[in-house]
A = this chain, B = another copy of it.
Amino acid sequence: MATSVRRGPYACGIDAGIDVVAGKWKVLILWELQQHGIRRFGELRRGLPGVSEKMLIQHLREMEEDDLIHREVFREVPPRVEYSLTEHGSSLNEALRPLGAWGGQRRKRLDAQGAGGAGGVGPR
């Protein structure tokens, strides 16, 4: 049960794509690794304000299993573990770009609405 497929049978590709990034912090992890190339566990934790160690490691393990990220352990003391994107992780990031752009547009729309619109929410 440890190895292999996990999740779906999928109805279609989008399904499979979304499934792999479902998880509160996964796209942020992807982004963080894309930006920095290589990050240690503690760096990731500090780079994702609000994430708990449990969730971070859980997501990292799932992403490793999905072959999105690479995990390299250095047998030193204090321990050092470095995470980086695999080829698939990198291409996933590329594939997410249009969605990110769309989301950016949406954010702008919402901001404009919130700022000039029927007051109430205020900008954040």
Contacts and interface: CB of A to CB of B under 8 A. Distances in A.
Interface of A: 4-5, 9-22, 27-28, 31, 88, 91-92, 94-107, 110, 113-114, 120-121, 124
Given A4-B121, A21-B18, A91 B102 contact: yes
Contact of A11 (B4, B14, B28, B102): B28
- How many subunits of this chain does the assembly comprise? 2
Contact of A99 (B17, B28, B120): B17
Given A28-B15, A107-B10, A107-B13, A95 B102 contact: yes
B121 A13 contact: no
B100 A98 contact: no
A110 B5 contact: yes
Which of the listed residues A27, A28, A106 has the most CB atoms from chain B within 10 Å of its own CB?
A106
A107 B88 CA distance: 13
Given A5-B110, A92-B102, 14 more contacts: A4-B113, A5-B114, A10-B103, A12-B28, A12-B104, A13-B102, A13-B106, A15-B28, A16-B103, A17-B102, A18-B103, A20-B103, A94-B98, A95-B102
